[in-house]
Amino acid sequence: MTELSRSVRGLTVLVTGAASGMGRATAEVFAAEGANVAVTDYDGEGAEAVAAGIVAQGGRAKAWKLDVGDKAEIDAVVADVARHFGGLDAVVNNAGISGFTQIDNEGYDELWERMIRVCLTAHQRIIRAALPHLRKSKSPRIVNIASTEALGATALDSAYSAAKAGVTGLTRALAVELGKEGITVNCVCPGPILTGMTRGIPDEQRDIYAKRRTALRRYGLPEEVAHITLSLCMPAASYITGVTIPVDGGLMARNA
Ligand code: NAI
């Protein structure tokens, strides 16, 4: 047996959309395991609050305001994170937005443009900004958060579904391209998770949906997704790349 480490202690991870939901849980789980965490979000104050909470618990974190739709901001923040922590080992592309509309509704083009920019283009931009730093890491990791909407689809959700399916393609292509450098690139597809994104759905509706669609008959918790992301970033996870992992309570497995 070699001694592959199951610890992310001392490694630096940048998480986007970390002020809420799964991004927040991811930041907190990594910090609890001893990683240095760059807590980034469009909502700068929310990111500050999450980082302050981590520091109050004895963890290492710093907040950055980062709109992933803005390339200049991405380049500046990624460089500053690497400077601050003395490197960058993992990137978790988590920030995302939702938006439902019919394909022929007015405003579709605007929704499409925003969705692709925030949920897909941002991923490649952050990866490109992070690459020079990841190349210096002993355990370089990229985790992209997509959705079960990348694997199946819901009516009126075509822009989101297209962006998320794009993330799975980007993941595979970059896993193949960067594999020779030892950089792993994987994708997590959450199913229905209790976060800011789904908070607006009435409890009763959420319950009916979960019972009808998931094998586990319930919504998932943000930390149930964060732990898979953490596992993919462990140095020991060095032979898994290019995969798309549903974390969906069995939603994709269930026919009836
Ligand atoms: P959330 O709404 O709780 O958190 C999303 C975070 O992203 C927020 O803090 C928000 O400020 C931030 N954000 C939005 N636009 C941004 C931008 N342009 N730049 C930087 N940050 C931005 O949502 P949740 O559910 O935690 O979402 C995380 C990821 O999981 C998203 O990519 C979402 O599409 C995905 N997802 C969520 C599911 C769910 O059931 N909640 C299911 C499948 C995927």
- Does 2 have pLDDT greater than 90? no
Distance 45 CA to ligand 1 centre (A): 16
What six digits make up the tokens of 172?
Answer: 């595979």
Residue 189 CA to residue 251 CA, distance in Å, equals: 11
Determine the pLDDT at residue 3: 83
Summary mean pLDDT of the chain: 98
Distance 4 CA to ligand 1 centre (A): 32
Identify the residue whose C-alpha is closest to ligand 1 atom 44.
147
Distance 202 CA to ligand 1 centre (A): 19
pLDDT confidence of 5, banded at 50, 70, 90? very high
- Please write the tens of the pLDDT for every residue from 155-177: 999 999 999 999 999 999 999 99
- Span 113-133, average pLDDT: 98
Residue 25 CA to residue 221 CA, distance in Å, equals: 9
Give the DSSP letter of residue 218.
S
Determine the pLDDT at residue 217: 98
- Amino acid residing at 22: M
Pocket around ligand 1: residues whose beta carbon is below 6 Å from it? 16-17, 19-23, 41-43, 46, 66-69, 94-97, 118, 145, 147, 190, 192-193, 195-198
Determine the pLDDT at residue 92: 99
What six digits make up the tokens of 27?
Answer: 């930041």
Size (the chain), residues: 256
- Does 208 have pLDDT greater than 80? yes
Determine the pLDDT at residue 216: 98
CB atoms within 10 A of CB 82: 21
- Span 226-239, average pLDDT: 98
- Please write the tens of the pLDDT for every residue from 20-36: 999 999 999 999 999 99
Q: Which atom of ligand 1 is nearest the CA belonging to 18? A: 9
Of 14, 22, 50, 71, best ligand 1 pocket probe by most atoms within 8 Å of the beta carbon: 22
Is there a contact between 252 and 246 (Cβ–Cβ < 8 Å)? Answer: yes
Determine the pLDDT at residue 33: 98
Distance 189 CA to ligand 1 centre (A): 13
Catalytic residues: 160
Residue 184 CA to residue 10 CA, distance in Å, equals: 19
How are beta strands 90-93 and 141-145 bridged, if at all?
A: parallel
